[in-house]
Amino acid sequence: MNIYLLAIAILPVLILAIVVYRQDKFNKEPIGLLIKCFFFGALSILPAALLESVLSQYDPGLPVVSGVYTGFVVAGCCEELCKLLLLTWAVWRSREFDEYFDGIVYSCFVALGFACFENLTYIFAQESFFSAMYTGSVRAILSVPGHFLFGVMMGYYFALAKFDPQHRGKYRLLAFLVPMLMHGTFDALLMVPESMGADGTIVSSVLFIILIYFDIKMWKWGVRRIHHLQDLSQQQNFDRNKPFEGFTWDF
């Protein structure tokens, strides 16, 4: 196994895992539970691949429709659904899931586990070292951060569902729908030109510019939600640690 290919597959994942771990400003999550989330994320690729293979049997016909279908239904829906199910299995009832920002941390580790396994699959499937390095470089810039940001959005609504029982159903649905739509848009912008082949040169250039704009917007959305849950976690910790203000006797 080539050490350079292994590095380009794993390092982007490791860097983003460290970034989100360091953003947890209060009670750090147990390393064992984070490893479990990462492993569950890698595991989620198996049911996702099975669902994708079934849904890929349908051919919409038109190249543009095919690209949109593959992006939203085959990739976005299957992958985000499986990640959410494995995330729920891993941490929903855990005692360690005790503050808002934990939702983003756990979700991102699941997403990065998925991205890591997917990276290894794509990179080591290439026929030459050059094509493998090229694939790894493109995925390090686009795909791995994409999965990370989908994880941020999923974790945001997942945490709101955990700590707001009154609106739990709505937030659990959003924990699936929002990352799925983001994932679908991201993939469709890549897959529509691919489905058009040589006829899509101009379309490909336009959609790539839109993809870059969309990627920047995703980062802005993700950072805002990270800050929001950090603020909510800070309030949770303040409420836990403030002195008791109940009834007192005055003499």
Residue 202: per-residue pLDDT: 75
Residue 242: per-residue pLDDT: 62
Average pLDDT over residues 201-218: 88
**Residue carrying the six token digits 């983001």:** 182
Average pLDDT over residues 122-144: 92
**Residue carrying the six token digits 């729920």:** 88
* Phi and psi torsions of 171, nearest 5°: -70, -35
**Residue carrying the six token digits 């649905």:** 173
Give yes or no for residue 244 having a pLDDT over 50.
no
Give yes or no for residue 246 having a pLDDT over 60.
no
Please give the angle made by the CA atoms of 26, 29 and 175, to the nearest 5 degrees.
Answer: 95
27: helix, coil or strand?
coil
Average pLDDT over residues 71-83: 96
Q: What is the DSSP letter of 141?
A: I
d(CA 241, CA 225): 24
